[in-house]
Copies of this chain bind each other. A is one copy, B any other.
Amino acid sequence: MAFNDKCAVAGVWNHPAASFLTYLALYALQHRGQEGAGIVSLHEGKHLSCKDQGLVGQIFTKEKLAQLKGSSAIGHTRYSTTGLDELKNIQPFTKELNLGPLSVAHNGNIVNYSLLKEKFLKESRVFTEGDSDTECLFPLMADCEEKELGQRLLKACSQLEGAYSFVILTKDSFIAVRDPMGFRPLVLGKKEEAYVVASETCAFDLIGAKYIREISAGEILIINKQGMKSLFLPKAQKKARCIFEYVYFSRPDSFVFSQNVYERRKKMGEYLAKEHPISADMVIPVPDSGIPAAIAYAQHTGLPYEMGIVRNHYIGRTFIQPSPLIRNFKVKIKLNPQTIVKGKRVVAIDDSIVRGTTSKALVEILRSAGAKEVHLRVSSPPIKGPCYYGVDTPQKKQLISGEGHDVEKVRQFIGADSLAYLSYESLLKAGGSREFCSACFDEKYPTAVYNSL
């Protein structure tokens, strides 16, 4: 019930089935972007590309994967709005530079993109029409003609501000880059002689790769026939790991920022139980994102855990919506309450509240199923501001806690008997007390934001 991440990246170096493994990795990362995907493979110095709208499993056929020859490949899945010409926005992007072909898959958002683009346009550069922040990497990489690849990457990336986990292919090298603040995750694995890079470790589990380590914040890892080497961008004053990866984005079975996500979420549920216990008959998760916190909340309150809401997983993107015919349709098509809530006092656990409309519908549905009391517990604090680092968020004024509504006002809107959020301090503690970006909760943006979005 939260916002959507904008994408996932993956890549494989030195495996005869490189594009196939990249495809599987994207399969495992599908939760980070369901509207488009692409794979670029490196074959005899050329980049072969296949990209389309849709789910990973719909886009890539056996025939297409067979055409994506080569022992190295990178891939991307994307969350986006549809339109007339959305294909141009699907990554990896491939361009030709003086150093040969360059393909890039990007998770994150470069906040000084507009400034860079403005400067480049003034210098008579040509851009793809549209608004991709990723594209400004190309003129930066094209610029310093003489220098060696690593130096070029260092110089180019040092001009970028914001969030970027890149997987890059050149005519002969495979590169993984993570911005100095380390906003978005990026991990390195190994399968036999091959290296694998992905947004989350769940991709490694599927393809049978072994997790080695995180790509460090500020690291530029270059792999080619000469071997593997790491360069480092100037160190940031502090890290800014996205705390929302723990709250919602990542798959619970992944290791993200070197910690298991499921355990982090259980911690949130544990602290939520300690901060906001309540006398009730059962704890129910809002599936699927609320499950880990609900399990812990139940364990730590001693209340019985129940599957009080059933989720229909067959919902595609295009169900036909009968606005006036069925009340709360958008929630009902996905979630159905169980009879077990009838006459009971239930504590529903959700991971976050964005606009509040879904929570309101959910409370209504639970009441109409006979719940005597509905207490909503949220395993993160109120969301106060949009994200500028690669997440699809509504504007501040559309956030129910964005314009000063206190918790009581939100409760009234939602119609719950009680409402409580995890405290900011506990969230950080649950996250492992590390350096995080939590700007959506506290509006302390770790970079300039250039009035952008």
Taking CB atoms and an 8 Å cut-off, the chain A residues in 185-242 that contact chain B are 202, 205-208
Interface magnitude class on chain A: 35 or more
Contact code string A284-308 (vs B, CB < 8 Å = 1, else 0): 0000100110010011000011110
Contact code string A342-384 (vs B, CB < 8 Å = 1, else 0): 0000000000000000000000000000000000000000000
Taking a contact as CB atoms under 8 Å apart, the answer to whether A142 and B122 are in contact is: no
Taking a contact as CB atoms under 8 Å apart, the answer to whether A262 and B307 are in contact is: yes
Determine which of B20, B121, B206 lies in contact with A97 in the assembled complex, contact meaning CB atoms within 8 Å. Answer: B121
Determine which of B30, B126, B144, B319 lies in contact with A314 in the assembled complex, contact meaning CB atoms within 8 Å. Answer: B30
Interface 9-mer from A64-72, A420-428, A431-439: A64-72
Taking a contact as CB atoms under 8 Å apart, the answer to whether A126 and B129 are in contact is: no
Query: Which residues does chain B contribute within 8 Å of A306, judged by CB atoms?
Result: 295
Taking a contact as CB atoms under 8 Å apart, the answer to whether A68 and B47 are in contact is: no
Determine which of B57, B128, B319, B320 lies in contact with A315 in the assembled complex, contact meaning CB atoms within 8 Å. Answer: B57
Interface centre among A51, A98, A124, A128, by most chain B C-beta atoms within 10 angstroms, is A124
Question: What's the Cα separation between A147 and B94 when bound, in Å?
Answer: 31
Question: What's the Cα separation between A327 and B209 when bound, in Å?
Answer: 12
Q: Does A115 reach chain B (CB closer than 8 Å)?
A: no
Taking a contact as CB atoms under 8 Å apart, the answer to whether A95 and B126 are in contact is: yes
Question: What's the Cα separation between A307 and B56 when bound, in Å?
Answer: 26
Query: Which residues does chain B contribute within 8 Å of A307, judged by CB atoms?
Result: 252, 262, 291-292, 295
Query: Which residues does chain B contribute within 8 Å of A20, judged by CB atoms?
Result: 320, 322, 325
Q: Does A453 reach chain B (CB closer than 8 Å)?
A: no
Question: What's the Cα separation between A333 and B23 when bound, in Å?
Answer: 12
A interface SS class: mixed
Q: Does A396 reach chain B (CB closer than 8 Å)?
A: no
Query: Which residues does chain B contribute within 8 Å of A145, judged by CB atoms?
Result: 122, 124
Taking a contact as CB atoms under 8 Å apart, the answer to whether B252 and A205 are in contact is: no
Taking a contact as CB atoms under 8 Å apart, the answer to whether A320 and B62 are in contact is: yes
- Chain B nearest CB from A339 CB (Å) reads 5
Query: Which residues does chain B contribute within 8 Å of A51, judged by CB atoms?
Result: 85
Query: Which residues does chain B contribute within 8 Å of A260, judged by CB atoms?
Result: 338-340
Taking a contact as CB atoms under 8 Å apart, the answer to whether A316 and B55 are in contact is: yes
Write the chain B residue with the least CB distance to A51. B85
Taking a contact as CB atoms under 8 Å apart, the answer to whether B85 and A48 are in contact is: yes
Question: What's the Cα separation between A202 and B332 when bound, in Å?
Answer: 11
Taking a contact as CB atoms under 8 Å apart, the answer to whether A124 and B95 are in contact is: no
Contact code string A72-112 (vs B, CB < 8 Å = 1, else 0): 00000000000011010000001111100100000000000
Query: Which residues does chain B contribute within 8 Å of A64, judged by CB atoms?
Result: 84
A-B contact pairs, 16 of them (CB 8 A): A27-B333, A28-B312, A49-B85, A50-B84, A58-B316, A95-B129, A96-B129, A124-B144, A206-B332, A252-B307, A253-B310, A253-B339, A262-B340, A263-B340, A295-B306, A298-B305
Across the A-B interface, give the 3 residue pairs with the lowest CB-CB distance, nearest first. A30-B314, A253-B310, A57-B316
